Structure 1
Amino acid sequence: MRAVTSDDIAVLANPSAGRGRRRALLPAVLAALRESGRGVRVLEASSGEEAEKACRRAVGEGVAALVAVGGDGTVHQGLQAVAEQPVGFGVVPAGTGNDFAACTGVPPEPVAAATAISDALREGRHVALDLARAVGTDGEVRWFGAVLAAGFDAIVNERANRMRWPRGPRRYDVAILLEMARVRPRIYGLELDGADRSFEGTLVAVGNCASYGGGMRIVPDADPADGLLDVIVAAPLGRAALARLKPRLRRGTHVTDPRVTTYRARQVRLHADGIIGYADGERIGPLPLEVTCVPGAVRLLR
């Protein structure tokens, strides 16, 4: 790990977060961050890959803090740079889905969140929270803060990413309809802390935080400070059963369904043929994946 050598705050801002509606907030957010008494610089990036590289470069240069202004995708990019590093991480929720921020006690209003980051830096405090570390067969490490989806929702995400029409959120609605028509159970190899929990089912998710998709509480009891991952699996579900279960995700009451099983573990090994995992809404890569909870891996400023 590289020691912090700079007083600067590096800011990763996604101009399209919240479908662009919050772009005008950035000057006020930057002004609130400057109240910390530190210099503030916005990182330049035109793609997700460039954003991650810019974040890693800033952390390598020894910034005092990295701040992600956007939704869970922007947070995800920032986490790749700050995980297990001695640098503060701030989140200003400005996306359509802000699950990591909501789960970790970040103020929901962007300027208030930026003010809280400034206060934390000025007072020299942070909260150490867990992150999940995912490793695929290629050995690449990907960190996530919220939830890894590897069942029906991951299949929908993969379908939506392949589609060129329609644009915007309707693309996901169409992808859900298309995949719902062909939903089928999969055989999953699942190992939890060395114990075999393999199953046939439709849904599976691994959570460091409780929700994904903008408030769907897929693992409602997940706690990013307990050193454990929450795992949920669902038995084979047909179209009608899946449609009935989906609305209950907002309240987290789906876990009382007898077809749903929940676990907790420090390490999860997950495999199924033809599944691409998505974490924090971002494409991680094909299963198999090994996911490990790393306690205190991020220094959250709030």
Structure 2
Amino acid sequence: MVTGEAIAVLANPGAGRGRHRAVLPGLVRQLGDSGYDVQVLHAPTAEAAEQACHRAVADGAAALVALGGDGTVHLALQAVAGARIPFGVVPTGTGNDFAAAVGVPAEPLVAADAVAAALRDGRQRRIDLARVSDAEGRGRWFGAVLAAGFDAIVNERANRMRRPKGPRRYDLAIMLELARLRPRAYTLVLDGQTHEFPGVLVAVGNCASYGGGMRICPDADPADGLLDVVVADPLGRVTLARLKPRLRSGTHVTDPRVHSYRAREVVITAHDIVGYADGERIGPLPLRVGCVPGALRLLS
């Protein structure tokens, strides 16, 4: 049991190819110096990790800290979103898009020190989160970006593949999906206003980037109470391949075939597409996404 005198730490042993192993002892020490006991949540699966976070919050933990990447943050958000418990992030993942967007230092031990200082000083900052629901009303929180176009299709393909292992599987999935690229018929409802269009790329961002720094929604601000929506018209294989590198700088939105919107609530409908948020599988479209202002109390 994690009591109100303890800080719970969710550590992903696989994040960033095991980077957390070198960081965890220092993080525990720094948090302990804040005057709290520290309990590391050990869980063999993602489902067990999420359940452990919920138990820690229910037991009245003083704070929850995620040590890992966007996937680890995603699991922890399910427990702390909308709750009074403060949340800290120490980025050690391959992709740390949420941490970067909310100003967490990239160096893990510096981030750990910032979390410990915020605990000592009682310093918290309110951050928006997004809430996504499927057609049956099942909901998930996410912090960074929901992908519902080509990138989501690639993720779904890669998750079905058993080999090759590692990043090469994702690269192969991109090649396979580029070969069968075709526009999809989308219906997008933004704050009640309906847009119908063919497209190849749809993303809904609470934060600017996904995939380890691809700034798909470059103007997204996780403290403005709005979601940024970026869509791309039908594009050929060569054009899409040339556009993708521009995501690193966010300059793709200057292309006349790319369109940006802002809304408090977004409903996305298309056939045969599974949405992914924070890199995690959410479920088939249609999906409803709403911005929940100040849903997270960030230790910062």
1:112-191 equivalence runs, <5 A: 112-191=110-189
1:64-143 equivalence runs, <5 A: 64-143=62-141
The Cα RMSD (Å) is 1.0
**Partner SS for 1:198:** strand
Question: 1:138-197, CA deviations, whole angstroms, 9 ceiling, x for partnerless residues?
Answer: 211100000000000000000000000011111100100110100100001100000012
Cα shift at 1:7? 2.3
Are the counterparts in 1 of residues 10 and 65 from structure 2 also a CA contact under 8 Å? yes
**Partner SS for 2:42:** coil
Q: Which amino acid aligns with 2:28?
A: L
Instruction: Show the counterpart of 1:248.
Output: 246
Are the counterparts in 2 of residues 32 and 111 from structure 1 also a CA contact under 8 Å? no
What is the aligned counterpart of 2:28 among 27, 30, 35?
Answer: 30
Instruction: Show the counterpart of 1:209.
Output: 207
Are the counterparts in 2 of residues 136 and 289 from structure 1 also a CA contact under 8 Å? yes
Q: Residue 17 in 1 paired to residue 15 in 2?
A: yes
**Partner SS for 1:189:** strand
Instruction: Show the counterpart of 2:255.
Output: 257
Q: Residue 280 in 1 paired to residue 294 in 2?
A: no
Q: Which amino acid aligns with 2:125?
A: V
Instruction: Show the counterpart of 1:53.
Output: 51
Are the counterparts in 1 of residues 11 and 20 from structure 2 also a CA contact under 8 Å? no
**Distance in 2 (alpha carbons) for counterparts of 1:108 and 1:46:** 26
**Partner SS for 1:164:** coil
Cα shift at 1:281? 0.4
Cα shift at 1:29? 1.6
Identity %: 70
- The number of residue pairs the alignment matches comes to 299
Cα shift at 1:35? 1.8
The alignment's TM-score, normalised by the length of structure 2, stands at 0.98
Q: Residue 7 in 1 paired to residue 5 in 2?
A: yes
- Mind listing any 5+ residue stretches in structure 2 that lack a counterpart? none
Cα shift at 1:24? 2.1
Question: 1:99-125, CA deviations, whole angstroms, 9 ceiling, x for partnerless residues?
Answer: 000000001111111111111111111
Q: Which amino acid aligns with 2:281?
A: R
The alignment's TM-score, normalised by the length of structure 1, stands at 0.97
Cα shift at 1:27? 0.8
**Distance in 2 (alpha carbons) for counterparts of 1:197 and 1:111:** 46
**Partner SS for 1:117:** helix
Are the counterparts in 2 of residues 189 and 197 from structure 1 also a CA contact under 8 Å? yes
**Distance in 2 (alpha carbons) for counterparts of 1:282 and 1:35:** 34
Are the counterparts in 2 of residues 16 and 23 from structure 1 also a CA contact under 8 Å? no
**Distance in 1 (alpha carbons) for counterparts of 2:19 and 2:298:** 26
**Distance in 1 (alpha carbons) for counterparts of 2:245 and 2:107:** 26
Cα shift at 1:5? 6.5
Following TM superposition, the consecutive aligned residue runs of length 4 or more in structure 1 with deviations greater than 3 angstroms are none
Instruction: Show the counterpart of 1:233.
Output: 231
Q: Which amino acid aligns with 2:93?
A: G
Question: 1:268-288, CA deviations, whole angstroms, 9 ceiling, x for partnerless residues?
Answer: 000111110000000011111
Question: 1:237-282, CA deviations, whole angstroms, 9 ceiling, x for partnerless residues?
Answer: 1100100100000000000000000000000000111110000000
**Distance in 2 (alpha carbons) for counterparts of 1:21 and 1:117:** 18
Are the counterparts in 1 of residues 97 and 212 from structure 2 also a CA contact under 8 Å? yes
What is the aligned counterpart of 1:268 among 266, 269, 288?
Answer: 266
**Distance in 2 (alpha carbons) for counterparts of 1:296 and 1:22:** 28
